[in-house]
Structure 1
Amino acid sequence: MTQQEPGVLLNGWVRTKATRKHNFISAISELVFKTFAIAELEIRKLRHDPTDLAVRAVQPALWLLIFGQVFSKIRAIPTGGNLPYLDFMTAGILAQSVLFVAIFTGGMTLIWERDLGIVHKFLASPTPRVAMVLGKAVACGVRCLSQVFIIYGLALLLGVKLNLHPLAIIKVLLIVLMGASCFCIFSLIIGCLVKTRERMTGIGQLLTMPLFFASNAIYPISLMPNWLKFISHINPLTYEVDALRGTMLLNGTSLYGFGLDCTVLLLTLIILTLICGKLYPRVAM
């Protein structure tokens, strides 16, 4: 009876060790697959309450129809160049709409799922925590895409000169997806910490308006005092608005450039995802 050589299976096949490259590709593919699986579950919720998309469109419509029309008439806020104020603020109102939807969707949904016991089931599964976070962020981004078409429709009715080139529209959709994902994960982080719907609602209302007004959404950064300029430069919403203003408007310009705006949003998304992935298990405690 001969002794079997080490490293050889009973069927005679040689045992091969998985390479690091193979393991890395498998991990990435699994992360992507489970992220989209979570996103698909979240998007299905829209079938139960599709009116939520229409309700979310009321606030940006009021901003454009009332605030934008009034300030366009009095010309109180300079925009630089020959860009009309209504054109200037259209990109900011789109970013504001995305911000509000993301903040009040992420954390509130997480706490609601915790109360129903859904989060506990996900945490007991082998799904990576990062995939859970990114899945919800992607779903929120898809939800916010409806705001793009609503704002575009209102802007065209009001005479805003939009850039309707297909590439420009694709860039706008990309920026909206990234911006919504960033603020959705930010909301998830808050939801992991506060754990109650009442606190989440209060903190969400407390954060949305400062984030909005400490950006270049409705007035240029040059009009801000120095302390507010500093906050604006570290506010991700500023870069989202800048990218939208330079892309969706026919005569729009970008202060930082589309590449830098995307880089800032992407880095913010990665950092917030890693933080939220670490905090996610706290929801079930």
Structure 2
Amino acid sequence: MSQSITPSNFKSLAPNPEMQGQMGDLGNPISEFIQETLALTKRLFIQLKRRPSTLIAGVIQPLMWLILFGALFYQAPQGFLGTDISYGKFLAPGVIVFTAFSGALNAGLPVMFDREFGFLNRLLVAPLATRYSIVAASTIYIISLAFIQTAVIVAASAFLGAGLPGFAGLSAIALLVFLVVLGVTALSLGLAFALPGHIELIAVIFVTNLPLLFASTALAPLSFMANWLQWIASLNPLTYAIEPIRYIYLNDGWGLGSTVMEAPWGTLNFATVLLVLLVFDAAILFAIQPLLRRRFA
């Protein structure tokens, strides 16, 4: 039998002041966005905890690059890079950036699998404050993994003789890795919503990954390349992160005005390459906005 609501018992149904305060907090769009983003990010880390092979492989692979490529060029003539540095020290910045890039390029795969398994549809019909919390959670997750991998590579490089930059240098490396990962993660998430399935996304990853590696200064300086490849490498966003990190490794004294890259059309300093990466991120974020709005509508 249903109970009628009378003036005598209506007061007992009203929320108490503590509940009203909690409801007020939940009504704040910013608080709800943060809460949703943290919950979705926690879900991704729970998945990583249950299947840590992704992180383990993402750490082992760059270590193998450092060890094998360092051994491959171990007998190279001293000074063949133009300075008295080992190839291992030259290679470390390239491995750092390419590892972060590879992880960010795979950022769309979890979202794509959520699409195919139906979980994303459940999220889209859920009463979320904003569906952009789905994208924000994936971005935070990928950036966190990139920082973990970067820390391991920097430590391993120091152990192998590449040296260890100071606190300012490590902070600059973290900033450069963040800028690369942010733009590439946004691009990968946009592809996850645009492409029909994970087969197409994996195909794009395979087609993009190695060409961008070889068309950058990760493995060789610009002076070693053919003229046409020098122009391509100078337009590659990875090069704009690799070169300043390499400069930090090779020079104790550096600043925003330090010349870190000799492009075919001129020299670029530290501040300029940061600006290029910021423009790259802004262009990607601006380009995927219409797609995300259509998908979230």
Q: Provide the TM-score with structure 2 as the length reference.
A: 0.75
User: C-alpha distance in 1, partners of 2:187/2:94?
Assistant: 19
> 1:259 aligned to 250, 262, 271, which one?
271
Root-mean-square deviation (Å): 3.0
- Following the alignment from structure 2 to structure 1, what is the Cα–Cα distance between the partners of residues 140 and 296? 22
Residue 4 of structure 1: aligned partner: none
TM superposition shift of 1:205: 0.9
Instruction: Give the distance between the partners of 2:156 and 2:168, measured in 1 at CA.
Output: 21
Instruction: Quote how far apart the aligned CAs of 1:35 are.
Output: 8.7
Match of 2:90 in 1: 88
Q: CA shift at 1:281, angstroms? A: 5.4
C-alpha displacement of 1:48: 2.7
Displacement of 1:36 after TM fit? 5.1
The alpha-carbon distance between structure 1 residues 272 and 156, as it changes in their structure 2 partners (threshold 3 A), is same
Letter in 2 for 1:227: W
Cα 1:250–1:50 shift into 2, 3 Å: farther
Between the two proteins, what is the percent identity of the paired residues? Answer: 22
Deviation at 1:248, TM superposition (A): 4.2
In structure 2, the partner of 1:145 is 147
Match of 1:271 among 277, 280, 283: 283
Question: 1:277 deviation in Å?
Answer: 2.5
Q: Which residue does 2:112 correspond to in 1? A: 111
State the one-letter code of the partner of 1:236: P
Contact 2:69–2:88 (Cα < 8 Å) also in 1: no
Gap change, CA 1:232 and 1:32, over 3 Å in 2: farther
Gap regions ≥5 residues in structure 2: 1-27, 262-267
CA distance in 1, matches of 2:32, 2:213: 33
2:177 paired residue number: 176
Distance 1:119 1:149, change over 3 A: same
Shift in alpha-carbon separation, 1:127–1:78, aligned structure 2, 3 A: farther
- What letter is aligned with 1:67? F
Alpha-carbon distance in 2 for matches of 1:71, 1:184: 32
How many residue pairs were aligned? 257
Whole-angstrom distance in 2 between the partners of 1:219 and 1:113: 39
Pair 31,67 (structure 1): closer, same or farther in 2 beyond 3 Å:
farther
> Which is further off, 30-39 or 86-95?
30-39
Larger Rg: 2
Report what 2:229 is aligned to: 228
Q: How does 1:8-47 map to 2 (within 5 A)?
A: 33=34, 37=38, 39=41, 41-47=43-49
How far has the Cα of 1:259 moved from its partner? 2.0
Query: Which of 159, 162, 176 is the equivalent residue of 2:161?
Result: 159
Where does the alignment leave 5 or more consecutive residues of structure 1 unmatched? 1-25
Taking structure 1 as the reference length, the TM-score comes to 0.78
| Residue 112 to residue 224, structure 1, CA distance change in 2 (3 Å) | same
Ranked by relative contact order (alpha carbons within 8 Å, sequence separation 6 or more), the top structure is 1
Q: Which residue of 2 aligns with 1:64?
A: 66
Q: Secondary structure in 2 aligned to 1:74?
A: coil
Instruction: Confirm or deny: 8 A CA contact 1:195 1:283 kept in the other structure.
Output: no
- Which residues in structure 2 correspond to 1:192-211 (within 5 Å)? 192-211=193-212
Q: CA deviation at 1:138?
A: 2.9
Whole-angstrom distance in 1 between the partners of 2:44 and 2:142? 8
**SS class of match (1:215):** coil
- Number of the residue aligned with 1:22: none
The 3-state SS of whatever aligns with 2:164 is coil
